[in-house]
């Protein structure tokens, strides 16, 4: 592997990270907080590390897929390490493990927090906390694809590794143009939601942080009570709308905006995504209906909670632990399924679950009619066998990760319900879990070993397992 080229690219990515640390400094000044020197120092240290990598390495060759795996995986690890500096240097989170946990959770858009009192943090640090979501949501590498082609780096190798879902949806022949389009959609959704939240009476700081957490499917809120803090049905409906938008394939948004008005209607995965949201909401509503005098509130909070967990955003509004067991189980399934391919949501992805069931139906047909041809079709085209194999492999390794993570977490003394839900939540990038890790609880009470296990789950889930696990293979490092 061309290690010097991989490290050289990490230098550019660290400069990218340092640049995005800077917007938190003006907020520290605006709120007359004394955290701005540490925020500047964090950006300075990160930039210095980036310049050092650029100075002592070189980029002589084009990237292969082998290097693409390393660039993507190391980018998330480096961003998580240097991204913890603002928490640690300001003393907001003095424990290094906790600072890393919060940062990994931010960049992987998980939204699991160790903080018991979020509002006690300086505004500059809170803004950086939400910014980690926003950077991680579109993907560190996908955003950098707009720059790397200028350096003579092949972008498709990175895009194949970073793109979520069984297929990478190229909107244009040139990968840099595709990346720019996706970033443009991402920024447009963020600005539009911020404007709508401002119209609802939310302050600019809260509106930006909430939009960062929504469009990234992250869930970090600047308030202890999350969205429940604002006590506004208008704000809740706005957040619901944009959570659903963030959980939808961004390519559909672009095509709709450019005149293809039937783009949503013609997409099978979008139909399944909305159908799954509706089915889960009805199931949850059945279990929560009797707890509400205001039935309109029951509908709104049920839909909000399903949208929040199904899109792996993780914002809190209702205490779903007070709902019936079947409602909570429906929410757990929604967390596992996640959003659409090509969205910022995590989880198995709707399209994978659909292809899994199509494969099972095909196998039943073959059992009944051994000579029959039963191809799996998507958008009226036969799905290649290698794609089906990849889907089955991903579902299988997700199950192995779920079993192993739960086993390790229970070994630290956590009850099995909390452990199972926490591993599902971190593998899918949701945030809240069940039982002792519910929507208004935090992860701060866990043992350090449990936090490291969950950090591993966050990274594995965000990188969709194979991109990170392949680095552990001896064959990967052979020439």
Residue-wise DSSP of 197-216? HHHTT--HHHHHHHHHHHHT
Does 328 map to a domain?
A: no
Structure token digits, residue 5: 């080229």
Q: What is the pTM of this model?
A: 0.91
Supply the pLDDT for residue 359.
87
For residues 199 and 210, what is the distance between their CA atoms, to the nearest angstrom? Answer: 14
Does 175 map to a domain?
A: no
**DSSP state letter for 228:** G
CA nearest neighbour of 463 among 136, 11, 6, 193: 136
Q: Is 141 helix (H, G, I), strand (E, B) or coil?
A: helix
Does 131 map to a domain?
A: no
For residues 330 and 188, what is the distance between their CA atoms, to the nearest angstrom? Answer: 32
Going from the C-alpha of 365 to that of each of 353, 361, 382, 392, 393, the distances in angstroms are: 19, 6, 16, 18, 22
Q: Is 452 exposed, middle or buried (0-12, 13-18, 19+ CB in 10 A)?
A: middle
Does 434 map to a domain?
A: yes
10 Å Cβ neighbour count for 204? 12
For residues 421 and 4, what is the distance between their CA atoms, to the nearest angstrom? Answer: 40
Number of structural domains (the chain) is: 1
For residues 246 and 191, what is the distance between their CA atoms, to the nearest angstrom? Answer: 13
**Dihedrals phi, psi of 179, to nearest 5 degrees:** -60, -40
Gap between the terminal Cα atoms of the chain: 7
Does 127 map to a domain?
A: no
Domain of residue 464: give its range.
383-477
CA nearest neighbour of 451 among 133, 100, 217, 132: 100
For residues 180 and 29, what is the distance between their CA atoms, to the nearest angstrom? Answer: 32
Does 87 map to a domain?
A: no
For residues 187 and 117, what is the distance between their CA atoms, to the nearest angstrom? Answer: 29
Tens-binned pLDDT, residue by residue, of the chain (479 aa): 677 878 888 898 899 899 999 999 999 999 999 999 999 999 999 999 999 999 988 876 566 667 777 777 888 889 999 999 999 999 999 999 999 999 999 999 999 999 999 999 999 999 999 999 999 988 755 655 554 554 444 444 444 545 555 554 555 556 667 777 888 889 999 999 999 999 999 999 999 999 999 999 999 999 999 999 999 999 999 999 999 999 998 889 988 988 888 888 888 889 999 999 999 999 999 888 888 889 899 999 999 999 999 999 999 999 999 999 999 999 999 999 999 988 889 899 998 899 899 888 888 887 887 777 777 877 777 878 888 888 888 899 999 999 999 999 999 999 999 999 999 999 999 999 999 999 999 999 999 999 999 999 999 998 888 777 777 777 667 66
Does 437 map to a domain?
A: yes
Does 170 map to a domain?
A: no
**Residues linked to residue 377 through DSSP beta bridges, in sequence order:** 382
């Amino acid at each position: 592997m061309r290690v010097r080229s991989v490290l050289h690219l990490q230098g550019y990515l660290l400069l990218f990270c340092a640049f995005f640390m800077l917007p938190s400094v003006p907020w520290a000044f605006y709120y007359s907080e004394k955290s701005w020197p540490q925020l500047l120092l964090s950006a300075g240290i990160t930039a210095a590390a980036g310049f050092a990598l650029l100075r002592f390495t070189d980029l002589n060759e084009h990237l292969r897929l082998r290097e693409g795996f390393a660039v993507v995986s190391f980018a998330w690890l480096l961003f998580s390490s240097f991204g913890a500096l603002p928490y640690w240097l300001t003393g907001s989170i003095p424990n290094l493990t906790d600072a890393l946990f919060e940062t990994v959770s931010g960049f992987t858009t998980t939204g699991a927090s160790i903080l018991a009192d979020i509002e006690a943090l300086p505004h500059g640090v809170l803004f950086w906390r939400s910014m980690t979501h926003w950077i991680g949501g579109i993907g560190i590498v996908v955003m950098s694809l707009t720059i790397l082609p200028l350096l003579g780096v092949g972008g498709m190798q990175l895009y194949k590794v970073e793109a979520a879902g069984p297929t990478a949806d190229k909107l244009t022949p040139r990968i840099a143009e595709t990346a720019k389009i996706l970033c443009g959609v991402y920024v447009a959704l963020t600005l539009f939601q911020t404007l709508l939240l401002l119209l609802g009476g939310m302050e600019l700081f809260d509106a930006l942080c909430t939009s960062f957490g929504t469009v990234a499917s992250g869930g970090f809120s600047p308030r202890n009570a999350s969205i429940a803090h604002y006590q506004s049905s208008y704000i809740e409906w706005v957040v619901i709308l944009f959570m659903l938008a963030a959980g939808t394939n961004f390519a559909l948004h672009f095509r709709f905006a450019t005149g293809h008005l039937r783009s949503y209607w013609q997409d099978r995965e979008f139909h399944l995504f909305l159908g799954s949201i509706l089915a889960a909401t009805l199931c949850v509503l059945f279990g929560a209906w009797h707890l509400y005098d205001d039935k309109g509130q029951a509908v709104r909070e049920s839909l909000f909670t399903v949208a929040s967990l199904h899109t792996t955003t993780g914002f809190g509004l209702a205490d779903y632990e007070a709902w019936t067991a079947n409602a909570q189980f429906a929410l757990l399934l929604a967390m596992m399924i996640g959003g659409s391919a090509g969205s910022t949501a995590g989880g198995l992805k709707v399209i994978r679950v659909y292809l899994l069931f199509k494969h099972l139906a095909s196998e039943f047909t073959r059992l009944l009619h051994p000579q029959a041809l039963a191809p799996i079709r998507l958008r009226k085209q036969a799905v290649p066998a290698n794609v089906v194999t990849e889907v089955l492999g991903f579902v299988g390794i997700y199950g192995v990760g779920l079993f192993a993570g739960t086993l390790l977490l229970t070994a630290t003394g956590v009850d099995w319900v909390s452990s199972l839900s926490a591993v599902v939540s971190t593998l899918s990038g949701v945030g809240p879990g069940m039982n002792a890790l519910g929507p208004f609880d935090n992860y701060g009470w866990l043992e350090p070993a449990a936090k490291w296990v969950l950090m591993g789950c966050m990274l594995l889930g965000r990188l969709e397992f194979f991109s990170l696990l392949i680095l552990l293979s001896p064959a990967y490092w052979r020439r």
